[in-house]
Amino acid sequence: NSHRRRINPFWYPRSTTINTLKDSVLQLSTSMTVLQRQLSGATAGPRIALPDKWNGVDGRPDGLLATLDMIFECYSSHYETSRAKVALLTSLLSGHAQEWAAALYNGKSPICNDYFLFSEELRKTFVPASGERAPDSQLLHLRQGSFSVCHYASEFRTLSAKLSWGDDALRALFIEGLADHIRDEMTGKEAPQTLDAAVDLALRIDQRILTRPPPAQRWSRPPSTHMPSPPPWTTAAGGTRPPLERGPLRILRLFRTSPSPVPSPSGKRRSQVGVGGALPGTSTHIVSSRFSLRVTFQLGHKRVELEALLDSGAADNFIDQGLASQLGISLEAVTRFIPVTSVDGHPLQPYPVQSQTQPVLMSIGLHSEHIHFLVISAPSSPLILGYPWLQLHDPHVLWSENRILDWGPACRQRCLLPRTSTCSRESPAPPPADIESIPASYRDLAEVFSKQRASTLPPHRPYDVAIDLLPGAVLPRGRLFSLSPAENRAMEDYIAEALQQGFIRPSTSPAAAGFFFIKKKEGGLRPCIDYRGLNKATVKNRHRLPLLSTPLDSLSRLAYRPGSKNTKADALSRQFSSSVPDPDPDPIIPAERIVAPLRWPLEDSIRRALPGEPAPPETPPGRLYVPSCC
């Protein structure tokens, strides 16, 4: 205790000093941490996300290079050398562009040491100067069309930012490219003096038109007074349709991604009408909204099946120029160049349309016609049947199942004529069968293998067999059965083909035959008709027919008989008999000889059997006896 008393006076003052020093150190460390955070925040700069990689094919590298310039400006301490900038740009390349940069780096190119030269070489390599129109040309041809003013203004400002034009010129171009209904609304207001004022005024007008409820008369189609309707002209199929001289054509069919599309802001229509086709940049994934119709082109001796788009918004019938060239369809010049534009006013290539196809024989089932197509560039919809085609044929379309149920009244006399063929003497000779596919031993019977002859009925002759019904017989009636979709298609195809060949024809008789199917080995269905019920009600026309072996056996035993009256061997009508039979008559045709039923050279056989044979003893002297065949 005495020891502690001696130390305490010295210990307590020193402990107080130590605690004070600890507090000071803690305060200094806290201040240092705060200062470090403030310093790091001041030097780090804003956080900028890296742009997407560019493959050198899609689009242009302008956005990529502009974002990198911002990064280099904000993080100048990290990218002080051109080598570091080139390395970051190379890491954001892919595909062909990355392979190009790797080749320069591996080849120790001096361009890799200068960021400005590297970026310029990238533009020259993957963005040639002639790849697209210049910004000034794009700005001069830019139009609002059916898009909103906001969309048009953004496109206009993007292009104008690449130019150094004055504000007055840009303001005049912007107002000139606005839609007609926007310009009409701007007429009664004070003219804007700057581009920004013009954009602001157009945006307010467009927003007011979209928000107010349109009157009912705005949606009705106003009668055209500025374009007189020209007289109709006759097509190759015999119908009438409007001529080609109807002004510009416009794309009307759009693929929308929104389930509730916004209607047009104004009921006014321009003088342009439309054709079907997808717009550049629009979504085309809604395939169910497309009505595709299977058609057949008869091009000489070749038949080609295609898918045609049925588009009621198309102002004419169109074919893709690539498809027309692939099929070898002959083209002819139109009477007047026809400009074809999309619904937003963008021209479609070739612009204007300068050619059309010559009349092409097109078939849809039993429906056949000769038709013209305007030639455009539309690889997404290579074949389009437009509104004039629908107006001409007036088909009954079942839109829910994408098929045509019936055709218009005019088509029954013009396009649906029965095409039955007969084998009359006036008919042209059928094309020869494929000789190479027929065995050599049967090539003399090549006409038996003709598919065209097999698909026709024989001509009427005086000995046509009549099929009579039993008096008072009860004829079988038809029954209704449910069919699967595959069976229904097979039955429709069979009936259509039989009607076309003339094997059957429409009838109002209550009698009917059963129709059923047998599965083929390859997976299809073979239609079969049960005529047993009808055959029971017919008069049987039975006749005795001799066996083929009976006349051949009699002919083989035909013998030579001498005499003044029986001097000819009548092998076809009778056999000779004599009261005094010849002891050993020589047969004219040996028994072992086989006589073919199709070719019967009896006369040649007799002449070959008798050469040099002496005359019989019964022959009168001085008389030459030479048997001959009738």
Residue 424 pLDDT > 50: no
Rounded to 5 degrees, φ, ψ at 53 are -75, 150
Rounded to 5 degrees, φ, ψ at 591 are -65, -30
Residue 580 pLDDT > 60: no
Assess contact for 387 and 312: CB atoms under 8 A: yes
Residue 567 pLDDT > 80: no
What average pLDDT does the chain have? 71
Residue 242 pLDDT > 50: no
Q: How many residues does the chain have?
A: 630
Average pLDDT (330-341) is 75
Residue 228 pLDDT > 50: no
Assess contact for 293 and 385: CB atoms under 8 A: yes
Query: CA-CA distance, 544 to 182, in Å (whole number)?
Result: 94
Q: Is 511 helix (H, G, I), strand (E, B) or coil?
A: strand
- Find tokens 């139009």 and name the residue: 143
Domain ranges of the chain: 1-41, 62-126, 135-214, 242-255+269-279+287-414
Query: CA-CA distance, 111 to 131, in Å (whole number)?
Result: 24
Pairing of strands 302-310, 292-299: antiparallel
H, E, C per residue of 227-250: CCCCCCEECCCCCEECCCCCCCEE
pLDDT of residue 294: 85
pLDDT of residue 256: 35
CA dihedral sign, ordered 172, 173, 174, 179: positive
In the chain, DSSP finds a helix count (H) and a strand count (E) of 18, 18
pLDDT of residue 220: 42
Neighbour order of strands in the sheet with 273-275: 273-275, 249-251, 340-341
- pLDDT per position as a tens digit, 167-195: 888 888 898 899 888 888 887 788 888 99
Closest CA to 217 of 272, 266, 177, 158: 266
% of the chain surpassing 70 pLDDT: 64
Task: Identify the bridge partners of residue 309 per DSSP, sorted by sequence position.
Answer: 292, 384
With 0-12 CB in 10 A as exposed, 13-18 as middle and 19+ as buried, what is 317? buried
% of the chain surpassing 90 pLDDT: 0
Residue 96 pLDDT > 60: yes
pLDDT of residue 401: 77
With 0-12 CB in 10 A as exposed, 13-18 as middle and 19+ as buried, what is 308? buried
Domain at 242-255+269-279+287-414: CATH architecture: Beta Barrel (2.40)
Helix (H) or strand (E) holding 160: helix 149-160
Closest CA to 241 of 355, 368, 375, 410: 410
Residue 589 pLDDT > 50: no
Rounded to 5 degrees, φ, ψ at 340 are -115, 120
Closest CA to 133 of 145, 143, 141, 144: 141
Residue 559 pLDDT > 80: no
For residue 205, give every residue at least 6 positions away whose Cβ sits within 8 Å of its Cβ, in sequence order, or none.
149, 182, 185, 186
- pLDDT per position as a tens digit, 361-411: 898 887 888 898 988 888 888 888 888 888 888 888 888 877 788 888 888
pLDDT of residue 285: 36
- How far is the CA of 3 from the CAs of 7, 10, 13, 77, in angstroms? 7, 12, 18, 65
- How far is the CA of 61 from the CAs of 65, 124, 186, 290, in angstroms? 6, 11, 38, 36
Q: Quickly list DSSP for 443-506.
A: GGGGGGG-HHHHTSBPPP-TTPPP-PBPTTPPPPBP------HHHHHHHHHHHHHHHHHTS---
Query: CA-CA distance, 188 to 201, in Å (whole number)?
Result: 12
Q: Is 332 helix (H, G, I), strand (E, B) or coil?
A: strand
pLDDT of residue 38: 63
Average pLDDT (576-595) is 44
Q: Is the peptide bond before 61 cis (omega within 30 degrees of 0)?
A: no
Please give the residue that has the higher pLDDT: either 230 or 69.
Answer: 69
Please give the residue that has the higher pLDDT: either 236 or 51.
Answer: 51
User: 487: which 2 tokens?
Assistant: 């069976």
